[in-house]
Amino acid sequence: MNRRSLRITGMTCEHCARSVEAALNAVPGVRAHVDFASATARVEVDQGVSPEALVRAVAESGYRARLLEERPRSESMAGGPATRIAIVGGGSAAFAAALEAASRGAQVTLVEAAPVLGGTCVNVGCVPSKILIRLAEIAHLQARHPFEGLAHCVPAVDRAAQLRQQQARVAELRHVKYEALLEGRETIRLLRGRARFATPHRLLVRHADGTETEVRAEGVLIATGARPAVPEIPGLADTPFWTSTEALAAETVPEHLVILGGSVVAVELGQAFRRLGAAVTILARSRLLSREDPALGAGLRAAFEAEGIRVLCDTVPTAVRHGVGGFVLETRHGVIEGDRLLVATGRTPNTAGLGLERIGVETDVQGAILVDDHLRTSVSHIYAAGDCTELPQYVYVAAAAGTRAAVNLTGGDARLDLSVLPTVTFTDPAVASVGLTETQARQRGLEAEARILDLGQVPRALANFDTRGFIKLVADARHGRLLGAQVLAAGAGEVIQSAALAIGAGMTVDELAGRLFPYLTLVEGLKLCAQTFRKDVGQLSCCAG
């Protein structure tokens, strides 16, 4: 008889744990117990049962499993917390980890290859994109607001001036939230250069002048982030296409922007440039926001088409070329031409060149580092966090992972719990989700029921003269426990955290329906949607309790 341990990901409740347990115990020669709190399966197996069979059984039940192997801690890490820590990267995960580790008494060496600190979010991601989205929203409202008696006007757009203001705010936040935090901190040393592993405890950092510095560490955190992915389409690599980085730094608005991709970056930037005056065509490999509830993508597509954005689903160019007239894309819909092309087809982990294969750090086929819920890699003293891992690519996940990794590196025990993860796509209407969709719940063996509340039933939306979208709640049909929420609405991002708190607290739809919500707020729609499980809200008075 052999004993095995598996790390299980994707579980959101005790029922999930029992489903995984049942799947494992269905394998001949296996006796398993799954603990939801630690996301771990302890398994006794007869001779001849392979680890692959265990992983496959979990996958067939709708979850993911990774074999955990006990590895002796080597060199100076044997049995104790790290006091000398190296962190490779300079973004959100890296800084959160550096500050936490330093506060816990560690000496930290932060190694950053980029010319500026802060990583993707503050420099070329969240911050500049939300500034662009907000100014585009204001331009749109000037031209197309819904109120009578207030004249519409077509705003004059000076993108160069907007860009100066945008980049000034980026520089300000980068200084306040990153650069200034290192000033006067003797326990955090910053090294500029590109790191690679010489041994599991020794890094070589190559500087811009070609010299190298050796860094020895008892513990290491890899937080190198990710970069835009470029699909292999004939001719594309030979053209001057944009990624999100170039799009956000553009000093002019395109006449016709063609976008490859249908996920978050594609839809956010596509709508923003449309509202600043560009014609926009989106080519999505499958559909808009394909990882979300299909109703969200369908509703967003309708809103986009109402604004004049052309959306072509199930479309990938067969060839791309660029000439004097701009870009030419060959598709099943015919030739599509535009003066700018934005490639927004996902991101690739920045792990090449680190020498991970040399020291035994495992990655997936895309190069993302595999970690457990304590952020440990397959090498006991090396941790990883942020977009270079298989974790969801959100800055708040990266920062939380970095903090927890630092706690664990310095002798603590902190788990990253992603069972209730709220997400927001900053379009208009915005898209927000948390927990399980109706389909996911049923795939996991739950008896689920759902209710959809059209925003025309929400008083705040009526007062705003903007009833685009809906609120959807998913609940366990047997007990009424809230399992998930999906929202398509202007301001959906301000609603979803209340749903996340309700799911995290294990609330039922009846408990949510009975809570007090301020009248004429959009979040009141959660209460109204919860009430639809038992009542016809169309027959209730305003703010009916």
- What type of residue is 195? A
Which residues touch 287 (CB under 8 Å, ≥6 apart)? 262, 294, 297, 298, 301, 313, 314
- pLDDT tens string, the chain, 545 residues long: the values are 678 888 888 776 667 788 899 999 999 989 998 877 667 888 988 888 888 899 989 988 888 888 875 443 333 344 468 899 999 999 999 999 999 999 999 999 999 999 999 999 999 999 999 999 999 999 999 999 999 999 999 999 999 999 999 999 999 999 999 999 999 899 999 999 999 999 999 999 999 999 999 999 999 999 999 999 999 999 999 999 999 999 999 999 999 999 999 999 999 999 999 999 999 999 999 999 999 999 999 999 999 999 999 999 999 999 999 999 999 999 999 999 999 999 999 999 999 999 999 999 999 999 999 999 999 999 999 999 999 999 999 999 999 999 999 999 999 999 999 989 999 999 999 999 999 999 999 988 899 999 999 999 999 999 999 999 999 999 999 999 999 999 999 999 999 999 999 999 999 999 999 999 999 999 999 999 999 999 888 777 776 66
> CA dist 1 to 23, 31, 42, 47, 316, Å?
19, 10, 13, 6, 51
Q: What is the dihedral of CA 107, 112, 118, 119, to 10 degrees?
A: -130
- Determine contact, residues 268/427, Cβ cutoff 8 Å: yes
Gap between the Cα atoms of 196 and 213, Å rounded: 11
Pull the structure tokens for residue 40: 């771990």
Q: Which of 1, 13, 178, 394 is catalytic?
A: 13
Q: Which residue of the set 77, 313, 383, 543 is catalytic?
A: 543
Would residue 16 show up in a list of annotated catalytic residues for this protein?
yes
Say whether 11 is catalytic: yes
Q: Which one from 121, 388, 507, 529 is the annotated catalytic residue?
A: 121
543 annotated active-site: yes
The residues, any chain, with a CB within 8 Å of residue 159's CB and separated by 6 or more, are: 250, 251, 252, 253, 276
CB-based contact 485:496 (threshold 8 Å): yes
Tokens of 223: 């937080």
Query: What type of residue sits at position 122?
Result: V
Q: Has 529 been annotated as catalytic?
A: no
In angstroms, the CA 283 to CA 317 distance is 8
Which of 11, 388, 507, 529 does the annotation list as catalytic?
Answer: 11
Nearest to 346 by CA among 367, 370, 372: 367
Whole-angstrom Cα distance, residue 525 to residue 515? 12
Query: Which tokens is 391 given?
Result: 């974790």
Active-site residue flag, 77: no
CA distance 208 to 91: 19
Query: Which one of the listed residues 63, 178, 383, 394 is annotated catalytic?
Result: 63
Give the sign of the dihedral formed by CA 496, CA 502, CA 507, CA 511.
negative
Q: What angle do CA 341, 345, 350 make, to 5 degrees?
A: 115
Walk me through the domains of the chain, giving residue ranges and CATH numbers: 2-68 (3.30.70.100), 76-139+150-227+349-409 (3.50.50.60), 236-345 (3.50.50.60), 423-538 (3.30.390.30)
| DSSP-derived 3-state class of residue 169 | helix
Q: Taking the model in full, what pTM does it have?
A: 0.88
Q: Does 126 qualify as catalytic in the annotation?
A: yes
Q: Which 8-state DSSP code applies to residue 389?
A: B
The residues that bridge with 58 in the sheet, in sequence order, are none
